[in-house]
Chains A and B, each alone.
Chain A
């Protein structure tokens, strides 16, 4: 897409706000619609947009494939180990009251923040990995056929 000047300029202006919006959706998810799943998808969209407009290599130098693959597993591990942590604190699996025994509600805040972060990491990782996997294949249809 080298020749689409407008697309390139608009994309450059949009990527920052999209990532910011993803973080807003993530951390404001307790108060408004949103959460890890949506934020993960929006975060991935920012990088996918970059990849679509500037080419796969540019996107992969920003967000390398090995990192994406690590993130996929890391998110699930963050989630699972939050549960393990509450186990070690003497509470039930994923009972976030453990993080602040005097104020169970505050503990819940921390716990929800942690697991939502895990979901964000997994979903971003998986969406990016899927996009890379598809985009890395050599296309069978040339640009002219469209």
Chain B
């Protein structure tokens, strides 16, 4: 019961933050609230027993993500211009999508059901075998690095590729820009 209460409180804080993000036009505030959202979701993840994920979300979402967004703001703009389009069609789209998803969840097993398909597949074997196979307490690390090592190699490659993409987009073309606008140099 207490857990449910904690979850609900955190959830309503998340929704409030998300709505505030939607309404605010000051992008600096939006970025800060996105950081708050990350921290709140990290707390919710702890209550869902995903401590490793919560740790990552807090470090990435509130740490790196905010820094990158802020450095993007310094390079672009800090106020969002008011939209001229009516929000009616997006609202319709969002409601329809949400209704479809909720309709899909009606068939899903209940929250916390120990006999749901997700609990009985490979995960049960990982939990049962990892003490004998590895002698490592943290099952998440074991699955990440050993049982599903190939997956993680792919993830590392994706992170690397994204890094290369950013470098190609931002670092490679510096010389071409400098030639064009020398007048701005004095203001910076």
Contact flag A123-B152 (CB < 8 Å), given A52-B67, A69-B167, A129-B167: no
Please measure, in the bound complex, the distance between the C-alpha atom of A126 and the C-alpha atom of B54, giving whole angstroms.
Answer: 21
B166 CB–A CB distance under 8 Å: yes
Question: Complex Cα distance A137/B167, Å?
Answer: 12
A145-B152 in contact (CB<8A): no
Chain B residues with CB under 8 Å of A135's CB are 71
Indicate if the CB atoms of B150 and A93 lie closer than 8 Å.
yes
Tell me which of B52, B160, B164 has the highest count of chain A C-beta atoms within 10 A of its own C-beta. B160
Q: Per-residue CB proximity of A109-146 to B under 8 Å, as 1/0?
A: 10110011011001101110111111111111110011
Residue A33 at the chain B interface, CB threshold 8 Å: yes
Instruction: Tell me the nearest residue of chain A to B150, going by C-beta.
Output: A94
B134 and A83 form a contact (CB under 8 A): no
Bound-state Cα–Cα, A44 to B63, Å = 10
Interface centre among A29, A104, A142 (most CB of B within 10 A): A29
- On whether the beta carbons of A105 and B134 are closer than 8 Å, the reply is yes
B156 touches A112 (CB 8 A): no
Q: Contact check, A72 vs B164: say whether CB atoms are below 8 A apart.
A: yes
Contact, CB under 8 Å: B162 / A104 = no
**Segment of B13-21, B33-41, B85-93, B141-149 engaged in the interface with chain A:** B141-149
A48 touches B64 (CB 8 A): yes
Which one of B2-10, B72-80, B101-109, B113-121 is at the A interface?
Answer: B72-80
> B160 touching A139 by the CB < 8 A rule?
no
Q: Beta-carbon contacts of A82-100 to B below 8 Å, as 1s and 0s?
A: 0100000000011010000
Chain B: number of interface residues, binned into ranges = 35 or more
| A76 close to B (CB within 8 Å) | yes
A133 to B95: give the CA distance in the assembly, Å: 39
| B133 in contact (CB, < 8 A) | yes
State whether the Cβ of A58 lies closer than 8 Å to any Cβ in chain B: no
Question: Is residue B136 contacting chain A, with contact meaning CB distance below 8 A?
Answer: yes
Give CA–CA (A138, B170) in the complex, Å.
Answer: 11
Q: What distance in Å separates the Cβ of B176 from its nearest Cβ neighbour in chain A?
A: 13
A73 and B160 within 8 A (CB): yes
* Contact in complex: A142, B187 (CB < 8 Å): yes
Task: Contact check, A108 vs B144: say whether CB atoms are below 8 A apart.
Answer: no
Q: How far is the CA of A80 from the CA of B78 in the complex (A)?
A: 42
A–B pairs, 22, beta carbons within 8 Å: A35-B145, A44-B64, A45-B59, A45-B63, A93-B150, A94-B149, A105-B135, A109-B135, A111-B149, A127-B64, A131-B64, A131-B68, A133-B169, A133-B171, A138-B188, A139-B74, A139-B75, A140-B77, A141-B77, A141-B78, A142-B187, A145-B78
B contacts, CB < 8 Å to A: 28, 51-52, 54-56, 59-60, 63-64, 67-68, 71-78, 133-138, 140-142, 144-146, 149-150, 152-153, 156-157, 159-160, 162-164, 166-167, 169-171, 174, 184-185, 187-188
